[in-house]
Amino acid sequence: MNAAVRAVVRTALYYNIPIYAIHRGYEGMIAGEITPLEAGDVGNIMQRGGTVIKTARSVAFLSKEGRKMAYKNLEEYKIDALVAIGGNGTFTGAEIFHTEWGIRTIGIPGTIDNDLYGTDYTLGFDTAINTAVDAVDKIRDTADSHNRVFFVEVMGRHSGYIGLHTGIGSGAGAILLPEAEKSIDEIVEILKNSAKRKKLFNLIIVAEGNKNGGAQEIAKQVKDKINIDIKVAIIGHLQRGGSPTAMDRLLASRMGFAAVEGLLAGHYNVMAGIVNDEIVYTPFSEAIHKAKLPDPQLIKMAEILAM
Ligand code: F6P
């Protein structure tokens, strides 16, 4: 996100547009936490995880009164357009805000889950899967040395992208995704088959959004059916932080640049994404409501390679 903030600020300044940071998202907009930015203010931030302008989930912005306060603060600073980094909630709020107060917003897809329609990749996804693969590589050493089965849970509340890409990248023995569930019996079968070919350790990636439960729950149910050494590891919020990968920095720079250029070209209520390596502006209504699911061919490939 910091690389996106840097790109937005520097592109705006290039076009002689005064630019402000609104701290803590819609919460800060309501509270009037708005500060002007210069080029130097966004130096030395792109290698940092998180966001230097902070973020918050805002309940107040869900109310008309809250949005009115936000508008009053923008008016004070003569702010007439916004660049918002976020996902469904952020873009839904921006659309309502435009209908009520006419503020034009362009969105940048920022979620590690990669589940936004209108872009091949979202900000943070590449960093998250690199962190997860690195963690699974380390877990693999214990799994291999001790002949253990590990269920490793990765993030992705409603989406299996992190699970699928981590599973492929770490050579997992099975991947459990909300989009491709496996029954407990199927998992037991996989473990029995790998034991038959003398593979006594295994790594199974579980996306947190799995409908059979998280890694703990699934591991418990498997253990009830087959007596083997099973461990669980939950990678959790490690995936949401740390220095972003070069790929994420590049993506963020391109999207930040495209957001400002898009606003200048008259686009608003759209998300600046990248599809097939080209900048695409997708209406918020589509980005919010259209589903983006992992490619079934990739899921099939992962199954075959995991054998
Ligand atoms: O929506 C992105 C996400 O990273 C999910 O994958 C995860 O479940 C969630 O955020 C965690 O959010 P929080 O830190 O607010 O619990």
DSSP for 149-195 reads: EEEEEE--SS--HHHHHHHHHTT-SEEEBTTB---HHHHHHHHHHHH
Per-residue pLDDT averaged across 209-226, rounded?
Answer: 93
The reply to whether 41 belongs to the active site is no
pLDDT for residue 198 is more than 90: no
Which candidate, 263, 293, 306, places its Cα nearest to that of 94?
Answer: 263
What is the per-residue pLDDT for 210?
86
Cβ proximity of 127 and 242 under 8 Å:
yes
pTM to 2 decimal places: 0.96
The two structure tokens encoding residue 284: 């918020």
Confidence (pLDDT) at 70: 98
C-beta of residue 275 within 8 angstroms of C-beta of residue 141: no
Mean pLDDT of the 254-265 span: 98
Quote the mean pLDDT of the chain: 96
pLDDT at position 195 is: 87
pLDDT at site 209:
87
Interval between CA 264 and ligand 1 midpoint (Å) = 33
pLDDT of 100 > 90? The answer is: yes
Contact 123, 85 (CB under 8 A): yes
129-145 tens-digit pLDDT: 999 999 999 999 999 99
Q: What is the pLDDT of residues 48-93, one digit of tens each?
A: 999 999 999 999 999 999 999 999 999 999 999 999 999 999 999 9
Query: Using a 6 Å CB cutoff, which residues line ligand 1?
Result: 111-113, 155-157, 208, 240
> Where do the domains of the chain lie, and which CATH numbers do they carry?
2-124+244-289 (3.40.50.450), 128-240 (3.40.50.460)
For residue 47, pLDDT over 90 is answered with yes
Mean pLDDT in residue range 154-171: 96
Residue nearest to atom 7 of ligand 1 (CA): 157
CA distances from 40 to 15, 114, 188, 257 (A): 16, 31, 57, 17
Look at the block and give the residue holding tokens 């996804």: 125
pLDDT band at 197 (very low <50, low <70, confident <90, very high): confident
At residue 211, does pLDDT exceed 90?
no
What would the pLDDT profile of 175-189 be if each residue is shown by its tens digit?
999 999 999 999 999
Query: What pLDDT score does 32 carry?
Result: 98
Cα distance between the two ends of the chain: 37
| Contact indicator for 151, 204 with CB cutoff of 8 Å | yes
The number of the ligand 1 atom at minimal distance from the alpha carbon of 156 is: 6
Q: How far is CA 238 from each of CA 5, 135, 211, 234, 235, rounded to the nearest angstrom?
A: 22, 9, 23, 10, 6
184 is written with which tokens? 């407990």
Name the band, by pLDDT with cuts 50, 70 and 90, for residue 200.
Answer: confident
User: In this structure, what token pair is assigned to residue 43?
Assistant: 């130096």
Q: What is the mean pLDDT of residues 289-300?
A: 96
The pLDDT value recorded for residue 252 is 98
Instruction: State in Å: Cα 183 to ligand 1 middle.
Output: 25
Please state which of the ranges 34-38, 84-88, 212-216, 280-284 shows the lowest mean pLDDT. Answer: 212-216
Cβ neighbours for 168, distance < 8 A, ≥ 6 positions apart: 175, 298, 301, 302, 305
pLDDT of residue 9: 98
